[in-house]
């Protein structure tokens, strides 16, 4: 289980997070950074089984049997992973009935991604500020859209593609659960004025959801090839070289998912950049057909969401 994040109750002056006034709160940002990185702070920590899975993934000597053992020991995670592995997303012709079989059929790192995703999502299922079901549906939609875009440009989705899509808005989840009043005011302001959410977050919270997600995943020791595209998905052209391509795919997938109306991210103004499309071999004319392909997958997205809950 996650240890409840309580630092906003006593450690941070709530006046510093005035979304109504739109103050730039550099001190508030630094406090969040300090608290996230402070080992003594009660911030979210991954369950033991997930720490073992991450350690397993990093150890080149780890076998598929080792991984299967770690996951199978947690019946809830194991059941969700198997249900997702049998989803239309993977298109398997025969039923996958064990974690060992899942590792063989869909891949070692794909199973790791599914285990991590289901653990994180079920740990952050409730919020008084945002509709978590709708937000996670949007996030799954972005994962599906990323795969569709990669297929469109003749590339195969990597094992981490779905996980990156699922986790790309994790910062919003953290804001909405642990800063509910401030984030509710911010979301209302964004909705009424048609503002870009990430820019409004920087102005009122001191950092946006992409930066906060990066801090949390760094704390969880997620690999860089996952954290960097997420951190830069609203500014993919600024992403470090070898991670830029996935950041651009994620950016476009976010645009496509909003266009298709799959779930809701709380953001009412999503910017599309022609240069980003061009850099991956697409044009703005591709938006409509890609949107239609994603919309056709909505029932599969809902199945995926149900399997994670």
Task: Give per-residue pLDDT as tens, 89-106.
Answer: 888 878 999 999 998 888
* pLDDT at residue 161, rounded to an integer: 93
CA distance 108 to 71: 12
Task: Give per-residue pLDDT as tens, 236-272.
Answer: 999 998 999 999 999 999 999 999 999 998 887 777 7
* pLDDT at residue 46, rounded to an integer: 61
Which pTM was predicted? 0.83
* Confidence label for 216 from pLDDT (cuts 50, 70 and 90): confident
Query: What are the tokens at 140?
Result: 């799954």
* Confidence label for 308 from pLDDT (cuts 50, 70 and 90): confident
> Environment class of residue 197 by beta-carbon count within 10 Å: exposed (0-12), middle (13-18) or buried (19+)?
buried
* Confidence label for 117 from pLDDT (cuts 50, 70 and 90): confident
Could you tell me the CA-to-CA distances from 179 to 120, 172, 174, 187, 232 in Å, in that order?
18, 10, 8, 12, 23
Phi, psi angle pair for 38, to nearest 5°? -80, 120
Q: Which residue has the higher pLDDT, 150 or 85?
A: 150
Going along the chain from its start, the domains and CATH numbers come out as 22-39+125-308 (1.10.3210.10)
The mean per-residue pLDDT over the stretch 41-52 comes to 62
pLDDT at 138 over 70: yes
**Inter-residue contact 275 to 268 (CB < 8 Å):** no
* pLDDT at residue 288, rounded to an integer: 96
Average pLDDT, the chain: 82
């Amino acid at each position: 289980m996650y240890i409840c994040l309580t630092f906003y109750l006593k450690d941070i002056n709530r006046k510093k997070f005035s979304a109504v006034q739109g103050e730039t709160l550099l001190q508030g940002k630094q406090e969040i950074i300090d608290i996230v990185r402070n080992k003594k702070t009660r911030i979210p920590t991954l369950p033991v089984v997930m720490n073992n899975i991450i350690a397993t993934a990093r150890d080149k000597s780890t076998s598929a049997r080792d991984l299967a053992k770690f996951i199978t020991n947690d019946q809830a995670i194991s059941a969700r992973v198997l249900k997702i592995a049998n989803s239309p997303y993977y298109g398997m012709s025969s039923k996958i009935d064990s974690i060992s079989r899942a590792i063989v059929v869909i891949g070692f790192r794909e199973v790791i991604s599914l285990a991590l995703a289901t653990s994180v999502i079920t740990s952050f299922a409730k919020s008084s500020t945002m509709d978590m079901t709708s937000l996670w549906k949007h996030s799954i939609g972005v994962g599906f859209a990323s795969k569709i875009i990669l297929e469109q440009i003749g590339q195969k989705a990597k094992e981490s593609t779905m996980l990156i899509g699922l986790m790309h808005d994790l910062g919003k989840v953290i804001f909405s659960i642990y800063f509910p009043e401030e984030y509710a005011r911010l979301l209302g302001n964004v909705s009424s004025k048609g503002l870009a959410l990430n820019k409004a977050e920087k102005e009122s919270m001191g950092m946006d959801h992409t930066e906060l997600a990066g801090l949390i995943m760094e704390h969880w020791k997620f690999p860089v090839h996952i954290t960097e595209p997420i951190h830069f998905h609203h500014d993919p052209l600024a992403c470090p070289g070898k991670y830029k391509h996935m950041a651009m795919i994620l950016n476009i997938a976010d645009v496509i998912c909003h266009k298709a109306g799959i779930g809701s991210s709380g953001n009412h103004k999503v910017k599309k950049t022609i240069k980003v499309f061009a850099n991956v071999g697409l044009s703005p004319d591709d938006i409509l057909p890609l949107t239609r392909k994603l919309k056709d997958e909505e029932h599969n997205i809902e199945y995926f969401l149900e399997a994670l809950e």
